[in-house]
């Protein structure tokens, strides 16, 4: 806590950012912003393609995000606050830009390169600045969507588990139908046997009567 309080009290303009000063970062941001504001849509597209083809991913990402962000923000009003933070081997610079409809923040991320022993720009982007109410509204919507998705999945799982009882009922009906067919087949076989026994008894009776008639008539 003591170290944190000490860091909070440090003047960012007096910090050494791996060989860069606060004024150096401020000058870079101002030059970048002045160039971005003067670019047309065609310049942004062609510049992004140029930086991308030459392996300068940070500037390509900056131009792409800038074109997507400032398309409907009105006229440019001027620069806002510049915030520079240093964490271990990373330096982040956030420059606020005022537009007539909404503010935009241009961010630079520097990382210390051990080979060159100097900071290297690894990422750059332009993002909209949202108010606290808008952030809370967005967070609430994300929470509702997440919880809604969970409950929908739970309801589907409950319905699937509920349907398992119908599977057992269908299996029992199929088993009962098979037993019924076996019983009917057994009954048919038994009736055939009884008919054969009856036929055998009639032949014996005919033979006895025939023998008696023959004896009486000689």
pLDDT above 70: percentage of residues in the chain: 86
Banded model confidence at residue 143, pLDDT cuts 50, 70, 90: very high
Of 178, 200, 182, residue with least CA distance to 190: 182
> What is the arrangement of strands in the sheet containing 76-87, beginning at the earlier edge strand?
76-87, 90-99, 104-113, 118-128
Asked whether 92 and 84 are in contact (CB, 8 A), the reply is yes
pLDDT tens digits along 80-98: 888 898 888 899 999 999 9
In whole angstroms, give the CA distance from residue 212 to residue 170.
64
154-210, pLDDT tens digit by residue?
Answer: 999 999 888 888 887 788 777 776 666 666 766 766 777 666 666 556 777 788 788
- Measured CA to CA in angstroms, residue 111 lies from 7, 17, 20, 21 at distances of 20, 10, 12, 15
CB-based burial label for 57 (10 Å; 0-12, 13-18, 19+): middle
- How high is the pLDDT of residue 214? 84
Q: What is the pLDDT of residues 46-76, one digit of tens each?
A: 888 888 888 888 888 888 888 888 877 888 8
Which residue, chain included where needed, has tokens 């241009």?
A: 106
pTM, rounded to two decimals: 0.58
Regarding beta strands 118-128 and 90-99, do their DSSP bridges make them parallel or antiparallel, or are they unpaired?
A: unpaired
The per-residue pLDDT for range 96-127, each reduced to its tens digit, is 999 888 889 999 999 988 888 888 888 989 88
């Amino acid at each position: 806590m003591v170290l944190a309080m000490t860091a909070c009290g440090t003047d960012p303009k007096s910090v050494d950012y791996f060989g860069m000063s606060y004024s150096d970062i401020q000058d870079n941001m101002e030059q970048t912003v002045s160039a971005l504001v003067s670019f047309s849509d065609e310049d942004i597209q062609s510049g992004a393609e140029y930086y991308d083809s030459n392996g300068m991913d940070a500037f390509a990402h900056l131009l792409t995000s800038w074109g997507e962000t400032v398309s409907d923000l009105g006229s440019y009003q001027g620069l806002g606050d510049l915030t520079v933070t240093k964490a271990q081997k990373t330096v982040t610079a956030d420059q606020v830009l005022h537009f007539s409809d909404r503010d935009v923040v241009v961010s630079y991320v520097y990382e210390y390169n051990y080979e060159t022993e100097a900071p290297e720009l690894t990422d750059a982007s332009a993002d909209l600045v949202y108010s606290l109410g808008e952030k809370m509204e967005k967070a609430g919507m994300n929470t509702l969507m997440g919880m809604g998705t969970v409950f929908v999945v739970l309801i589907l799982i409950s319905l699937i588990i509920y349907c398992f009882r119908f599977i057992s009922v269908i299996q029992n009906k199929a088993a009962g139908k098979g037993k019924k067919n076996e019983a009917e087949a057994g009954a048919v076989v038994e009736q055939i046997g009884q008919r054969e026994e009856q036929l055998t008894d009639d032949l014996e009776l005919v033979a006895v009567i025939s023998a008696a008639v023959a004896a009486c008539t000689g």
